[in-house]
Amino acid sequence: MNSTKIRRTAIAVAAAALLPFSLAACSDSGSDTKAAPPAAAGEQGGTAAGTPAGGSAGGGSPFGPACAGVPKEGAGSFDGMAKDPVATAASNNPALSTLVAAVKKAGLVDTLNNAKDITVFAPTNDAFAKIPKADLDKVLADKATLTKILTYHVVGQKLTPKQLENGSFETLEKGTVTTTGSGESYTVNDTSNVVCGDVKTANAQVYIVDTVLMPK
């Protein structure tokens, strides 16, 4: 399979899942959207303070410090996000607005919303703020590079916290992300921490992270 076909396949799958929660929250119509921070379902037992009663589908409850900022009710709440596809769900959270804008620029909104059973590692606005502005602006202006980075945040299967304890997963970008941790503390690629994990959307499992993941 040639590189062009591989890239098209990766883009199609990624868009559908991404971003999101982290990834996409905007619509192709051009309307501004905001991303909603995901919460992780704790399979290890124990729920962080401030975790909403609804929890996430799959038996666990969202956990992590960033979960406290999720609305208690409405479209941006955990229950509300569980009813919408990932891009739409993410659009309801201001903390993911940069990610949502990036997903929109890459044209991945529909792809993410239509994807089935994916996991999205969604960087917060603060995560993007760690990147020097000049570098970030350059990436946002380069659709090919932006798509590569965003699809690197999407895995083609739903991952539970238990699977993140010591995992290695292929991303839609065809690279690999590694995860470690336990309980309510998880790290991705040894550089990014899950700040609100295992948040459910209609088609994806979302883990909000504090650092943008960069493919090799």
Q: What CATH code is carried by the domain that includes residue 149?
A: 2.30.180.10
Query: In the prediction, which pLDDT does 193 show?
Result: 98
pTM value is: 0.74
Is 214 inside a domain boundary?
no
186 or 43: which leads in pLDDT:
186
Mean local confidence (pLDDT), 84-91: 93
Is 116 inside a domain boundary?
yes
Is 163 inside a domain boundary?
yes
Is 113 inside a domain boundary?
yes
Mean local confidence (pLDDT), 6-12: 42
pLDDT band at residue 76 using 50, 70 and 90 as cut-offs: confident
Query: In the prediction, which pLDDT does 35 show?
Result: 38
Alpha-carbon distance of 92 to 81, in angstroms, equals 8
Is 168 inside a domain boundary?
yes
User: Do the Cβ atoms of 4 and 72 come closer than 8 Å?
Assistant: no
Domain count, the chain: 1
Domain extent for 70: 3-209
